[in-house]
């Protein structure tokens, strides 16, 4: 399994990160506050409240993917 990073402050269902979570193709994700290529704080973290929402979205999507797999079995 892989651990990956992604761009975005929210988890959108049609983004590549959402698809790999749904298909259980990653082991985890890395949230990054500073983007070295852009030399700016614009990768995943804006403030504590937004970070908490993003983590909750990631956890919920993972639980949904797990439940989907259980229902298929």
Closest CA to 33 of 42, 23, 22, 20: 42
Backbone φ and ψ for 28, nearest 5 degrees, come out as: 180, 175
Q: If you search the block for the tokens 């082991």, which residue do you land on? A: 27
**pTM value surpassing 0.85:** no
Domain range enclosing 55: 3-72
- For 37-71, write each residue's pLDDT tens digit: 889 888 999 999 999 999 999 999 999 888 876 77
- Structural domain total, the chain: 1
Q: How far is CA 18 from CA 12, 14, 29, 70, in A?
A: 7, 7, 11, 19
Residue 68: what are its φ and ψ, rounded to 5°?
-60, -45
Distance CA 45, CA 69 (A): 30
């Amino acid at each position: 399994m892989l651990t990956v990073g992604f761009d975005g402050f929210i988890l959108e269902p049609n983004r590549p990160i959402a698809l790999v979570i749904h298909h259980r193709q990653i082991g985890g994700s890395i949230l990054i506050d500073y983007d070295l290529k852009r030399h700016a704080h614009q990768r995943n973290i804006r403030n504590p409240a937004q970070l908490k929402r993003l983590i909750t979205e990631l956890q919920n999507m993972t639980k949904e993917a797990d439940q989907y797999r259980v229902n298929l079995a």
